[in-house]
Amino acid sequence: MFEGTVVEASDPVNARLRQLPAVERLVDAAGRARELPRWTLLAAARSVLEQARRALRDESAPDGLDLESLAARAAKLAERLDRPFPRRVLNATGVVLHTNLGRAPLADQAAARVAEAAASYSDLELDLETGARGSRIAQVAELLCLLSGAEAAIVVNNTAAAVLLAVDSLAAGREVVLSRGELVEIGGSFRVPEIMESSRARLREVGTTNRTHLADYENAIGPETGMLLKVHPSNFQMSGFTASVPLAELSALGRAHGIPVLEDRGSGSLMDLRPFGLPEPAAWEGLREGADAVLFSGDKLLGGPQAGIVLGRREPVERMRRSPLARALRVDKMTLAALDWTLRTLLDGSAIERIPVLRMLLAPQAEILERAEQLAAALERRGGSGVSVVTETSVVGGGSLPDFELPGAVVRLEPKGSAAELATRLRSQDPPVLVRVQRDVVLLDPRTLDASEIEELARVLTRLV
Ligand SMILES: *Cc1c(COP(=O)(O)O)cnc(C)c1O
C-alpha cells in the first residue's frame, strides 16, 4: 500500500528517469569528440547520470537532460579526469612566490633528490652505523643549527603546523598573548585565531588594531600567561597612526617574567639578503633579538620545499619535538630530501646561483630586460603585433616583503579584444599561461620564466593571438 502510493506519486519522475540514456550510450556519445581513456568516460558518464537522477528526484531538474547535453557534460568531466594534477603552468606574472602556483619551484638537483628519495628505500629512520632506529629530522636540524647558530631546530609540515605545535606544546591550558594588530589572515586561510582555537592554548588579545604598546603586554601578563607571540603581518602594511612593540623589547619582557617569546616570521631566509638589495635579514635575527624560537616557511624566501621550520633555544624546541602533535605534523622523506639539498646549497655558498627563488628575485634588471626582448622578438618572428618591451617592477608575493618592488621589465601586449578575455583564454592553453592584466593590456613578466619557457610561451601565444 505504502509502496504503491509512492510509485503513483512519482510516476512522471519515473517516466523521465527511464528516458535517461544507458551508461554505455552516454560513454559512446561523450567519447565521440575526442579520444579519452575509457575509465574517464565511464566514470564521467556515471557521475553525470547520477546527478541527473538526483535532480529529477528532487524535482529540481534543470534543462539539458537530452543525450547531447549530458554527453557534453560527461566529455568535459572526462577531460578533467584525464589531466594529471597538479599541472605545470607557465608563470608569466613575475610573482616569484605565488601561493596559487605552488610557491617556490625547486632546483632540478633538489627535484632529483626528491625523486630518488621517493623511489627507493633509504636510511630515513635508521642509524646505519649502529643499526638502531634514527631520527628522520636529525640531519636537517643539524644543518639548520649550523646555518643559523641556533641551539636547536625542528621541521614540520608547514608554518601553520609549526605555530599550532608551538602554542599547543608550550602554552597548553594557558594564554598566548598577541597584539590585535597581528591577528592576521595569510593566503590559503591561515588565521592566527583559528589556529589558536585548534590548540589547547587560549588567545589573549592585547592593544588595538593600529597601536599596541609594551604596557599592553605587561598588563596582560599573569599566572595564566603561557607565551608572548609576535606574528609578522606578511601580506599587508599599516601606515599612519600606528605603533607596535619591537621583538627585542617583547623578548626582554618575556625573559623578565620567565615566559617564552616566539616569532612567526612567515617568510624566512637563512642568509642575510640585505647586501643583495632585498630588505630581509636572516631569520636568526629574531633569536639575536631574544626570541626563544622563530618560525618560518621552507617554501617562501628560503626557496625550498613546503615545510615549517623552527629555530630556537634547546628547551622549548625539545618540548615541541616531544609533543604527540609533532608526530602528526611530521614531514615526509621527499620534503626532507629537498630541504637537505637546499640547506647544503646554502652552506656551500652557491645558493644565489642555484636556488631558483633567489636567482629569480636577484636577477639584475638588465637580464630581465634581455629576456623580455627575446620574448618580444620570438613573438614578432611568429607574426605577433602590438608587442613592446617596457621596464616595470614585480613583487615578491607569497606574503614576503610586502610593498617591496623588484626592478625588471615586461612584454606589453595590446590585444584586439579585452585583456581579461585574453588572460582567460591563455589559462586554458596547454600548458596554461598565467599573465598580469593591467587595464587594457596584458603584461608578460619573464622574471619567472626560464630560457626554454620563453620559446614555449611564444609558441602558445602565437597560436592564440
Ligand atoms: C605564510 C605565513 C604563514 C603560513 O605558512 P605556511 O607554510 O603556508 O603554513 C604563517 N604565518 C605567516 C606570518 C606567514 O607569512
| pLDDT per position as a tens digit, 402-424 | 889 999 999 999 998 999 999 99
Residue 437 Cα to ligand 1 midpoint, Å, equals: 27
Which of the two residues, 382 and 88, has the higher pLDDT score?
88
pLDDT tens sequence across 52-88: 999 998 877 667 899 999 999 999 999 999 999 999 9
Query: What confidence category does residue 1 fall into, taking pLDDT thresholds of 50, 70 and 90?
Result: very low
**Alpha helices (H) in 225-364, listed in sequence order:** 247-257, 285-288, 314-322, 324-328, 333-347, 351-354, 356-362
Cell reading at 213: 604598546
Q: Which atom of ligand 1 is nearest to the CA of 232?
A: 13
266 lines ligand 1 (CB under 6 A): yes
Kindly write down the DSSP assignment for every residue of 403-463, as one continuous string: EEEEEEEEEEE--SS-HHHHHHHHHTSSS-EE-EEETTEEEE-GGG--HHHHHHHHHHHHH
- Please, which residues have CB within 8 angstroms of residue 62's CB and are 6 or more apart in sequence? 55
pLDDT above 90 (res 465): no
Cell reading at 401: 616583503
What residues does 392 pair with on adjacent strands?
Answer: 408
Residue 13 Cα to ligand 1 midpoint, Å, equals: 51
88 vs 83: CA distance, rounded Å: 11
Residue 186 Cα to ligand 1 midpoint, Å, equals: 6
Nearest CA to ligand 1 atom 1: 266
Query: What confidence category does residue 4 fall into, taking pLDDT thresholds of 50, 70 and 90?
Result: very low
446 lines ligand 1 (CB under 6 A): no
335 lines ligand 1 (CB under 6 A): no
305 lines ligand 1 (CB under 6 A): no
Q: Ligand 1: which of 155, 179, 182, 190 to mutate, most ligand atoms within 8 Å of CB?
A: 190
175 lines ligand 1 (CB under 6 A): no
Q: Which atom of ligand 1 is nearest to the CA of 99?
A: 8
Which of the two residues, 84 and 236, has the higher pLDDT score?
84
The per-residue pLDDT for 382 is: 85
pLDDT above 70 (res 188): no
Q: Beta strand 190-191 with 185-186: parallel, antiparallel or unpaired? A: antiparallel
Query: What confidence category does residue 384 fall into, taking pLDDT thresholds of 50, 70 and 90?
Result: confident
Q: How far is CA 112 from CA 87, 101, 118, 202, in A?
A: 18, 20, 10, 43
Residue 185 Cα to ligand 1 midpoint, Å, equals: 9
pLDDT tens sequence across 8-30: 546 888 888 999 999 999 999 99
Residue 384 Cα to ligand 1 midpoint, Å, equals: 41
Q: Ligand 1: which of 186, 191, 235, 247 to mutate, most ligand atoms within 8 Å of CB?
A: 186
pLDDT tens sequence across 421-459: 999 999 999 999 999 999 999 999 999 999 899 999 999
231 lines ligand 1 (CB under 6 A): yes
Which of the two residues, 400 and 80, has the higher pLDDT score?
80
Nearest CA to ligand 1 atom 3: 266
Task: Report whether the peptide linkage leading into residue 86 is cis, meaning its omega lies within 30 degrees of zero.
Answer: yes
Residue 190 Cα to ligand 1 midpoint, Å, equals: 7
Percentage of the chain beyond pLDDT 70 is: 97
Q: Which atom of ligand 1 is nearest to the CA of 267?
A: 15
Q: Which atom of ligand 1 is nearest to the CA of 308?
A: 7
Contact 78, 43 (CB under 8 A): yes
pLDDT tens sequence across 321-366: 999 999 999 999 999 999 999 999 999 999 999 999 999 999 999 9
Which of the two residues, 45 and 7, has the higher pLDDT score?
45
Q: Ligand 1: which of 195, 234, 299 to mutate, most ligand atoms within 8 Å of CB?
A: 234
